Chain A
């Protein structure tokens, strides 16, 4: 027995070491980007300054000047926040109805909603460009908000539905007995009870909106262009601007990576539509 325990101890240590090495390898590109962002553009491509270099904040200070970062970041924030709010505004009543007043078609409606998510966006590229241009909506915040909301609505409804289903029906029905209106039920009973679920749904929706890189690239030029568009537009710096490009990239993904750490669990539910628990 003693031998077994001992060998399993070295086994444990080597497992832990291996796990750490793999985790560090996966994190390395992000670390490298952040590290490079503190180098000057000239230092960033010199092997002698690979690890030892004089750190500088120059790239972050000049982000506005070099890339007009804040304009793109503001657009990202505006479009992601409003898309998330609208998705919740439409999604909460919908999920409420599905969870507490299900009909025979509820399941089919949910599945159908998911199926819209599986359509390849590129298939409707031209019609969308055509429609937005002819309606004068091309490169406006409005169209980006609408599109981001629509592509995330199925996930939002789905996640809210799985959270709402956990709430005992009796609580909602008690409210109905007391003569509370439907709207009152949602506002006074449902939202306070499901607050945690709604918050994590919102967080995940926000992350997906922020990272979206098809419509935000194809339906904007300048006015409503988001960070995805900014980075895509500076795709080939040819080594001249590694430092400043790293800074703007780190500023674009930093907040989201941190947010992501807080919603790992919800991610599983949101992305597998509750099929893996």
Chain B
């Protein structure tokens, strides 16, 4: 008997650790979200220590819900997550189908393509916002300046000059403004996560039924119809998984937002929690619970899908 119980016991360290990791901080967040708790308040010093006598019920949740930054953060979170999902899935499918067939140097192409995924998020953000997207010193700024100079030169041409005179002077886009910094985040995260989508779709395409495909070719199905009626249905499941995994990751996007748009109004939920946590812990906790709920909506679907394949 004991030799069957011992192996089961071996699970317990991992289970206990994860249980503690999940329950204690989350329990505290839940508790703080129902009380008044601020780090600094000279008029009401009793609020600076967490205690049940400062019970606020759903007050923090109402306060956060009514806060205009909260709506903004939700909107921004959704804009960022949805844009990234859309772009990575489309690009991922196109690239995966493109490199699915053998060609010269496919191994190297794969290695080049996957590389962005391993770049640490902080480096990704610093690299893009400074060296590539900066309107003056980045490649964007240099490219725009170069094109303007070129057009300027062409204006002096004898005949075509008049045509080039009609061209407007290009102005570089600043990616540090409130709205455009969200685009910068979308660009850099799409760059980083498209390789992930490609990798997953490519893995899945390897298991596509080749006989079915050959039969379709014999029946005279064109490339588009093959893609539309065979490949795309085959990819349905991997697409769903890529969407859900990315949704969970990107809802808690932090380093990129922090680096690109610190203090310029472009916030997402994790960033807003960080801001609240500088003083108003009750509000930070309530926002945290909202974030948990949002992530759970996605997670439930994902877990169901994974659970189905688990014991196969």
Contacts and interface: CB of A to CB of B under 8 A. Distances in A.
Same assembly = yes
Interface of A: 12, 15-16, 18-20, 22-24, 26-27, 29-30, 32-33, 36, 45, 47, 50, 90-91, 93-94, 96-98, 100-101, 103, 107, 109-111, 113-116, 118-131, 150, 153-154, 157, 176, 182, 207, 210-211, 213-214, 217-218, 227-229, 231-232, 234-237, 239, 242, 245-246, 249, 252-253, 256-257, 259-261, 264-265, 267-268, 271-277
A22 B113 contact: yes
B306 A114 contact: yes
A275 B305 contact: yes
Contacts of A128: 25
B170 interface: no
* Candidate in B11, B14, B191, B310 with the most chain A CB atoms within 10 angstroms: B14
Interface in B158-204: 191, 194-196, 199-200, 203-204
Interface in B11-27: 11, 13-15, 17-18, 21-22, 24-26
Interface residues of B, number: 106
Interface of B: 3-4, 6-11, 13-15, 17-18, 21-22, 24-26, 28-29, 32, 95, 98-99, 101, 103-106, 108-123, 125-132, 134, 136-137, 139, 142, 145-146, 191, 194-196, 199-200, 203-204, 207, 237-238, 241, 245, 248, 251-252, 254-255, 258-259, 262, 269-270, 273-274, 277, 281, 284-285, 288-289, 291-292, 294-296, 298-299, 302-303, 305-307, 309-311
Contacts of B255: 213-214, 217, 228, 232
24 contacts: A12-B103, A15-B98, A16-B103, A19-B103, A94-B14, A111-B303, A111-B306, A114-B303, A115-B299, A119-B22, A120-B291, A122-B254, A122-B273, A122-B274, A123-B289, A126-B281, A127-B24, A227-B120, A231-B120, A237-B130, A239-B136, A261-B115, A268-B203, A277-B207
Contacts of A125: 270, 273-274, 277, 284, 288
Contacts of B292: 119-120, 123
A276 B13 CA distance: 29
A235 B125 CA distance: 8
B130 A245 contact: yes
Contacts of B245: 271-272
Given A19-B109, A121-B270, A111 B307 contact: yes
Given A115-B299, A261-B111, A126 B285 contact: yes
A23 B109 contact: yes
* Candidate in B4, B17, B129, B195 with the most chain A CB atoms within 10 angstroms: B17
Contacts of A265: 203
Contacts of B105: 16, 20
Given A20-B109, A111-B303, 8 more contacts: A12-B101, A18-B98, A47-B146, A127-B25, A127-B29, A131-B25, A153-B18, A257-B115
Nearest to B207: A277
B241 A275 contact: yes
Contact of B191 (A26, A32, A103, A272): A26
B131 A36 contact: yes
A22 to B, nearest CB: 6
A8 B288 CA distance: 55
B130 A242 contact: yes
Nearest to A237: B130
A15 B122 contact: no
Counting from the closest, the 4 A-B pairs by CB-CB distance are: A123-B288, A260-B118, A122-B270, A124-B25
Majority secondary structure, B binding face: helix
A218 B234 CA distance: 42
Contacts of B3: 176, 182
Given A90-B13, A231-B120, A253-B123, A239 B130 contact: yes
A101 B8 contact: yes
A25 to B, nearest CB: 9
Given A101-B4, A272-B200, A30 B119 contact: yes
A124 B130 contact: no
A123 B200 CA distance: 29
B112 A27 contact: yes
Nearest to A121: B252
A101 B255 CA distance: 41
A29 B128 contact: yes
Given A32-B132, A101-B7, A154 B18 contact: yes
Contacts of A229: 122
B277 A126 contact: yes
Contacts of A45: 137
B114 A260 contact: yes
Given A107-B311, A124-B29, A153-B14, A242 B203 contact: no
Contacts of A116: 18, 21-22
A110 B142 CA distance: 52
Given A12-B103, A16-B104, A154-B18, A124 B288 contact: yes
B120 A213 contact: yes
